């Protein structure tokens, strides 16, 4: 049961990070946003290190940064994998 809870919390945390990343990507569509705002600055400091990994792999194409697509794919894979692992442990009672 403990392993189930650990993997469930990890899956929920990754899902929450995915939501934060979605907000970050959607806000980049508005160029007039002041990123020095405290909340937006915190959002940037949380999500940019993860996005920078993919920006190094996929350069901007035609001025558009599509690296976030790969970042979302990996996060969705992790959420599914952690959920599946958690369900396996729940079935065995660990």
Please, where are the H alpha helices in 1-94?
2-27, 38-57, 67-92
Q: What is the pLDDT of residue 75?
A: 93
At 91, the pLDDT band (50, 70, 90 cuts) reads: low
Give per-residue burial for 21-41: e unless 16+ CB within 10 Å, then b.
beebbeeeeeeeeeeeeeeee
Per residue in 36-85, pLDDT (tens digit) is 989 999 999 999 999 999 988 888 888 788 888 999 999 999 988 888 88
Rg (CA), the chain: 16
């Amino acid at each position: 049961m403990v392993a189930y809870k650990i993997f469930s919390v990890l899956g929920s945390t990754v899902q929450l990070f995915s939501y934060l990343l979605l907000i970050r990507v959607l806000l980049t569509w508005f160029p007039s946003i002041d990123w020095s705002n405290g909340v937006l600055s915190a959002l940037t400091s949380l999500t940019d290190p993860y996005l920078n990994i993919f920006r190094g792999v996929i350069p901007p194409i035609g001025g558009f940064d599509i690296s976030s697509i790969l970042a979302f794919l990996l996060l969705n894979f992790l959420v599914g994998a952690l959920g599946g692992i958690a369900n396996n442990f729940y079935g065995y009672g660990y």
